[in-house]
Chains A and B, each alone.
Chain A
Amino acid sequence: MSDQTAHAPKTQTKRSFFQELELDTRLLGMIGAFILVALVFNIMTEGRFLTPRNIFNLTIQTVSVAIMATGMVFVIVTRHIDLSVGAVLATCSAFMAMSQVRWLPEMLELGHWAIPWITIVGGLIIGALIGAFNGWMIGYLSIPAFIVTLGGFLVWRNVGWYMTEGQTIGPLNETFKTFGGISGTLGGPVSWVVGIIAMIATVVLIFNSRRVKTKHGFNVKPMWAEVSLAAICVAAIAGFIGILTSYSVPERVVARDPSRFGCEVAEGCTPVYGLPISVLLLIAVAAAMTIIAQKTRLGRYIFATGGNPDAAELSGINTRMLTVKIFTLMGILCGLAALVASARLANHTNDIGTLDELRVIAAAVIGGTALSGGLGTIYGAILGALIMQSLQSGMAMVGVDAPLQNLVVGAVLVLAVFIDIQYRKRVGAK
Chain B
Amino acid sequence: MAPLVEMKNVSIAFGGVQAVDNVSISLNAGEVVGLLGHNGAGKSTLIKMLSGAYKMDSGEIFINGEKASITSPRDARDHNIETIYQTLALADNLDAASNLFLGREITNAFGFVDDDRMEAETRKIMARLNPNFKKLKEPVSALSGGQRQSVAIARAVYFNAKILIMDEPTAALGVHETAMVAELIQELKKQGLGIFLISHDTREMMELCDRVAVMKNGQMVGAERVEDVTEDDILSMIILGKNPKAAA
Contact = CB atoms under 8 A, between A and B. Distances in A.
A2 B102 CA distance: 21
Interface residues of B, number: 40
Contacts, number: 104
Interface in A284-311: 291, 295-297, 299-301, 303-308, 310-311
B235 interface: no
Given A297-B105, A315-B73, A430-B139, A2 B91 contact: no
B119 A313 contact: no
B228 to A, nearest CB: 35
Interface stretch (B16-24, B38-46, B57-65, B110-118): B110-118
Interface in B121-154: 123-124, 126-128, 131, 134, 139, 141-142
Interface stretch (B29-37, B92-100, B205-213): B92-100
Contact of A311 (B72, B91, B117, B128): B91
A342 B66 CA distance: 62
A5 interface: yes
B105 A374 contact: no
B107 interface: yes
Interface residues of A, number: 38
Majority-rule SS of A interface residues: helix
A1 B88 CA distance: 27
B102 A304 contact: yes
Contacts of B102: 300, 304, 311-312, 315, 317
Contacts of B107: 297
Contacts of A311: 88-91, 99, 102
A393 B51 CA distance: 56
Interface in B173-232: none
A295 B87 CA distance: 28
A2 B127 contact: yes
A216 interface: yes
Interface string A202-221: 00000000001101111000
18 contacts: A1-B124, A1-B127, A5-B127, A213-B116, A216-B117, A295-B112, A295-B113, A299-B113, A304-B98, A308-B90, A308-B91, A315-B89, A316-B73, A317-B102, A374-B91, A375-B93, A429-B142, A430-B92
The 5 closest A-B pairs by CB, nearest first: A307-B93, A307-B91, A315-B103, A374-B93, A316-B74
